[in-house]
Structure 1
Amino acid sequence: MPVDERAPALARTVSPPLPARRPRPNPDKAVVVIAPLSLTIALGLWGIRRQNTMWGDESVTYQLAHRDLSQIWHTAQHIDLVHALYYAVMHELFDLFGPGLLTLRLPSVLAMSVAASGVGLLGLRLAGPRAGLLAGLVFPLLPQVQKYAQEGRSYAMVCALITWATYALVVSVPHRARWRWAVYGSTMLLACLLHEFAVLALVAHGVTLVVSRVPRPVLRAWSVAAAGVVAGLLPLAICSAGQSGQVSWIGGPVRLRYLLVVAVVGMVCARAPLGVRGPVRLSALALPILVLPGLMLLTASLVKPLFVDRYVLYSNIGIALLLGAWMDHFHRRRRSSRIAWIAAIAVLAALVPPSLSLRTPQSRSNDATAIGAAVREEGRPGDGVLYLTGQHRILAAANPEDTRFLTDLALAQDAASSNTLAGVELPAQEIAARILEFDRIVAVRATAAHSPASPREEAKTSTLRRNFREYRTTHVNGARITVYVREHGHVPRGTPLAKSAVSMRGSGG
């Protein structure tokens, strides 16, 4: 058999097999992640100091997070257990980066930025790259998102975790891998441990799967993950139920109008034929998470008032997805795209005033920094200070220097040593006796609060009423600072009270 002399040459010219090329990163996905992230960080850093002011709830975070971890734990046994994990996280951040407003608020900015990227990826997966980009950009523009992106509280972190848990849910439906459901369950559990009302998003996810008619194995996998979340949350829920007095200040729905407006807008958007990609429809995911958590909280409020807008901050995920997909839908309909862009520009223009307002101290219900400064301004070394009620002592405690030279007339044990938020007060009789030892007292009242009918508060108000005269009142955001002077004691010269005292002495009164 003849041998082909060209065979060796041919063999030498055959190239070795090329290694498989790695798939290039999707440019659409990169844009959908980076653009919302960058916009949210920019908006979060804009005016983040709020003129170097801090409101009451942030003051609580600031003070508790500066205690030792053991003190945080012991305090949580008595009060604010629902926020204990957040305080522990902030304690570590203060240790790493030092105290200050930036350390207090930057974690919320970063968390909301991560949430914006997650919203963009959800839109990309459910309705395409343009819808994802638009949803991710709409999210940080929402007034509620801008507000809580700049607050030293847990709500932005909870929102970020629920966003990514929702993304894990959507990804897990077609793949059904156990580790994906484990990621979903652990992310949801962490969100619930940061704030219990995050569990309402779990119900919204369940409704999404039922409406989407996913296969039974998917429902079983979600049920197992959901059961794990509930089991992990149950000890915290049982223990914190004994601290229900923490929400006794809620007399009715707080800032309900915003949720109602975005719910109506979301339902209108959902009527359009939004893009469908995969087994879960965008409207089937977005509407439940937009409407159900707030609706369940309102229903529970029929028994005990619980609704506060920030408790369901993560509902904004739903409205951002719906608005992004709605704008994409009108862009694809070329005849209507011009109208859609004109409407979008009008909405952006309307958002400018609230965006400016949110970065002022007046945008919050109180200003702990201003309250403390007013107490320092009105007080003199050796004066007494009285909090009406005692639980509002926390409002003037942001800067200890504000009350350093004043005597707290009702305080028996300070907040840190007593593992409480506002300290432990003396019995009513002792409070009354201490008040009578002073000729000049600075009284602090929260504007929106009512004094509870307790012996201590009655002793404070009745002793002041019988033995003192009001000299001057200063109004600040969230409080009234009133100086009281003894009727027979030292009165500053030149004041109306001093002149009346002189005239009484001259007439033999």
Structure 2
Amino acid sequence: MNDFARDKIGCYAVWLLIIVMAAAVRFYAITEPYVWHDEAFSVWISSLSPEAIWFHTGRDVHPPLYYLVLHGWIELFGKTAFSIRTPSAIAGVATVALCIVMVRKWVSYRASIMAGVLLALFPMLVRFSQEARMYALETLFITGATFALACWVERSERYRYGVLYAVLMIAALYTHYYAILAALAHWLYLVILRLHPSIRAGYVTSLPWWCFNLMIVVAYVPWLFSLVDLLVNYSKLKATGATTWMYMGNTYTLPDTVWRFFMLKSDVAVFTPVYWVLPITLVLIAGCLLVVDRTQYKLATLLVLFSFVPMFVLFVVSLIMPAFYERYVMFSAVGLPLILAIGLVGMHREYRVVSAVLFVAVVCVELFGLKLNYSQKGQVGYSESIHEFRFPEVFDYISRHRQEGDIVVVGAGHYYFSGVFYNGGDSGLYLYWPSLNKNGSTRPSGYGAGTLMYDTWDDHTISDLDSMPSSVKRVWWLSVAPSEIHRIQYSGQWREVEARPAGKLDLRLYQAP
């Protein structure tokens, strides 16, 4: 075996170790958080027929592709917490592998190793690789589309790369609406190639490029009918609270976002210099990459645009209306570890010690972020330990002691879908909805997450214990401990016969008079 063959095998071995590490950190403690509202919604809607999935997602905030993928996965592997989160973990590992190949092709072997390590440990990608939601899958699609675009630019006579780009962007747009921000970055990159005085590449005006985008538009037409209906009824969607988590931008939105990408929180005091070190370092390295990029097709420019344009555009929009949310631009965050790795490798030639210290410092920040992730202490999204919200324990206890005429009432809307998941369905499960007493309208609009309960709303909601049907003999009341149970309004005819705390949950059994 010659030296070249040995080096090649060694290169593959290191890449494989990084991919194994990426898989390990994503599957480690993957079942530790309980299946919360959004994940339970994913499972519930994915358990329906493809036609029903298409209909209900047309009334919610995300397109249908992820739910269709999860539908097929559930058919094969069931609905355990491990099973429903595995597709996201696989997508996260595949993204790491894809980025390693991309950096190796664009830069060097050393850069691909450093980028692979930083991305394998990247807390933001790990966090959403452990959740049964669409963000990891969307990230894989958009990263793949960006790589395919670069390959087509380098070998424009090979139309298969352009077709692959179109297919992946179609998949991304059918997975999340904000994927359009990635397409904006891609268009901007081709415009820069057209205007650059030393390149003047006419890709953006070429017939193949417009054909690829026509493919995207035509493939998206079937969903436009649902999207238009959603936009027309946006006020109904907003009234359900389906957009309340998005917020207005401010001075600290972008630096906060960078810290949350790398550490899952941003508690560094805004007046300390430390707070600005990471964001400014990233911007400086990105700027240097743009200046020193001598590649024919300015691939560093593509990477920088892919990483920053979606975040910046969304930030600008959020100055006008609530629109910003970190996980909605998670796909662009993938480029940040790659930018750091490429910059540190370039720095290594003349400043080896500084490069090594910075690399170790970033890894330490990421490890701290992973610690927060595994302990459910991060500030990105919602994640709580199953040891604190003991849904499996609660529903196992109910199933073992349930009698004929028993029902289960969940005393908080945020936990109802989780109750459906751990109950194995909504049979015998009710949502406490005290507003039923306040006005004549009991049924929600049918938009947002409530679309799944629209047809059966009256059959699965109650307003008080005293209005129970005569067939109900006992009520298992599940609420958040301990305060909510004291807000339940009823005249006292039902007798409490058992109280069972379950971490932050409170289970009480009431007997009919």
TM-score w.r.t. the length of structure 1 is 0.72
Equivalent in the alignment of 1:242:
229
What amino acid is aligned across from residue 160 of structure 1 in structure 2?
L
Q: 1:233 pairs with 220, 242, 246, which one?
A: 220
Q: Deviations over 1:322-362 (max 9, x none)?
A: 111111012111xx211221222233223323212212355
Alpha carbons of 1:317 and 1:487: their partners in 2 closer, same or farther (altered >3 Å)?
closer
Within-5 A mapping of 1:332-411: 332-333=349-350, 336-361=351-376, 363=378, 365=382, 367=384, 370=389, 372=391, 382=406, 385=409, 387=411, 389=413, 393-400=416-423, 408=431
Equivalent in the alignment of 1:186:
167
Equivalent in the alignment of 1:170:
150
* 8 A Cα contact 2:246 2:324, kept in partner: no
Helix, strand or coil: the match of 2:79?
coil
Within-5 A mapping of 1:285-296: 285-296=302-313
1:268 paired with 2:281, answer: no
Distance in 1 (CA, whole Å) between partners of 2:32 and 2:64 is 26
Residue 249 (structure 1) shift = 2.1
Residue 435 (structure 1) shift = 4.7
Distance in 2 (CA, whole Å) between partners of 1:78 and 1:172 is 36
Equivalent in the alignment of 1:501:
none
* 8 A Cα contact 2:258 2:279, kept in partner: yes
Equivalent in the alignment of 2:452:
421
Distance in 2 (CA, whole Å) between partners of 1:494 and 1:70 is 43
Q: 2:247 pairs with 248, 252, 259, which one?
A: 252
* 8 A Cα contact 1:56 1:367, kept in partner: no
Q: 1:218 pairs with 176, 191, 203, which one?
A: 203
Equivalent in the alignment of 1:474:
482
Equivalent in the alignment of 2:268:
none
Distance in 2 (CA, whole Å) between partners of 1:141 and 1:249 is 30
Alpha carbons of 1:342 and 1:419: their partners in 2 closer, same or farther (altered >3 Å)?
closer
1:129 paired with 2:129, answer: no
Distance in 2 (CA, whole Å) between partners of 1:285 and 1:151 is 29
Higher normalized contact order (CA 8 Å, seq sep 6+, divided by chain length): 2
Q: 1:39 pairs with 15, 18, 21, which one?
A: 21
Q: Structure 2 stretches of 5 or more lacking a match?
A: 260-277, 437-441, 500-513
* 8 A Cα contact 2:464 2:489, kept in partner: no
Helix, strand or coil: the match of 1:398?
helix
Equivalent in the alignment of 2:262:
none
Distance in 2 (CA, whole Å) between partners of 1:75 and 1:384 is 25
* 8 A Cα contact 1:282 1:321, kept in partner: no
Q: Deviations over 1:297-326 (max 9, x none)?
A: 233334542222111111123212211111
Q: 1:54 pairs with 22, 35, 42, which one?
A: 35
Alpha carbons of 1:185 and 1:26: their partners in 2 closer, same or farther (altered >3 Å)?
farther
What amino acid is aligned across from residue 208 of structure 1 in structure 2?
Y
Equivalent in the alignment of 1:329:
346
Helix, strand or coil: the match of 1:209?
helix
Query: Aligned-pair RMSD on alpha carbons?
Result: 4.0
Alpha carbons of 1:123 and 1:56: their partners in 2 closer, same or farther (altered >3 Å)?
same
Distance in 1 (CA, whole Å) between partners of 2:44 and 2:326 is 24
* 8 A Cα contact 1:59 1:368, kept in partner: no
Alpha carbons of 1:114 and 1:184: their partners in 2 closer, same or farther (altered >3 Å)?
same
Helix, strand or coil: the match of 1:385?
strand
* 8 A Cα contact 1:252 1:305, kept in partner: yes
What amino acid is aligned across from residue 249 of structure 1 in structure 2?
T
Equivalent in the alignment of 1:8:
none
Helix, strand or coil: the match of 1:147?
helix
Residue 185 (structure 1) shift = 1.5
Equivalent in the alignment of 1:95:
75
Equivalent in the alignment of 2:503:
none
Distance in 2 (CA, whole Å) between partners of 1:404 and 1:156 is 32
Identity percentage over the alignment?
20
Instruction: Count matched residues.
Output: 434
Distance in 1 (CA, whole Å) between partners of 2:432 and 2:287 is 62
Alpha carbons of 1:209 and 1:406: their partners in 2 closer, same or farther (altered >3 Å)?
closer
* 8 A Cα contact 2:14 2:113, kept in partner: yes
* 8 A Cα contact 1:104 1:152, kept in partner: yes
* 8 A Cα contact 1:127 1:325, kept in partner: yes
Q: 1:484 pairs with 468, 471, 488, which one?
A: 488
Alpha carbons of 1:59 and 1:222: their partners in 2 closer, same or farther (altered >3 Å)?
same
Which region of structure 1 is more displaced relative to structure 2, 85-94 or 343-352?
343-352
What amino acid is aligned across from residue 105 of structure 1 in structure 2?
R
Q: Structure 1 stretches of 5 or more lacking a match?
A: 1-22, 446-472, 496-509
What amino acid is aligned across from residue 207 of structure 1 in structure 2?
L
What amino acid is aligned across from residue 421 of structure 2 in structure 1?
A
Residue 225 (structure 1) shift = 2.4
What amino acid is aligned across from residue 248 of structure 1 in structure 2?
T
Distance in 2 (CA, whole Å) between partners of 1:436 and 1:191 is 47
Distance in 2 (CA, whole Å) between partners of 1:161 and 1:372 is 33
Q: Deviations over 1:231-272 (max 9, x none)?
A: 433543552353342742235159865434565442121243
What amino acid is aligned across from residue 370 of structure 2 in structure 1?
S
* 8 A Cα contact 1:78 1:420, kept in partner: yes
Distance in 1 (CA, whole Å) between partners of 2:408 and 2:80 is 29
Distance in 2 (CA, whole Å) between partners of 1:74 and 1:276 is 47
Helix, strand or coil: the match of 2:51?
helix
Helix, strand or coil: the match of 1:151?
coil
Helix, strand or coil: the match of 1:233?
helix
Alpha carbons of 1:355 and 1:494: their partners in 2 closer, same or farther (altered >3 Å)?
closer
Helix, strand or coil: the match of 2:84?
helix
* 8 A Cα contact 1:273 1:329, kept in partner: no
TM-score w.r.t. the length of structure 2 is 0.72
Distance in 2 (CA, whole Å) between partners of 1:380 and 1:362 is 35
Distance in 1 (CA, whole Å) between partners of 2:192 and 2:126 is 31
Residue 118 (structure 1) shift = 2.0
What amino acid is aligned across from residue 226 of structure 2 in structure 1?
C
Distance in 1 (CA, whole Å) between partners of 2:16 and 2:391 is 41
Equivalent in the alignment of 2:188:
207
Distance in 2 (CA, whole Å) between partners of 1:483 and 1:385 is 14
Larger-Rg structure: 1
* 8 A Cα contact 1:204 1:288, kept in partner: yes
Helix, strand or coil: the match of 1:172?
helix
* 8 A Cα contact 2:96 2:116, kept in partner: yes
Q: Deviations over 1:45-71 (max 9, x none)?
A: 2211116x2222111112222223333
Alpha carbons of 1:398 and 1:404: their partners in 2 closer, same or farther (altered >3 Å)?
same
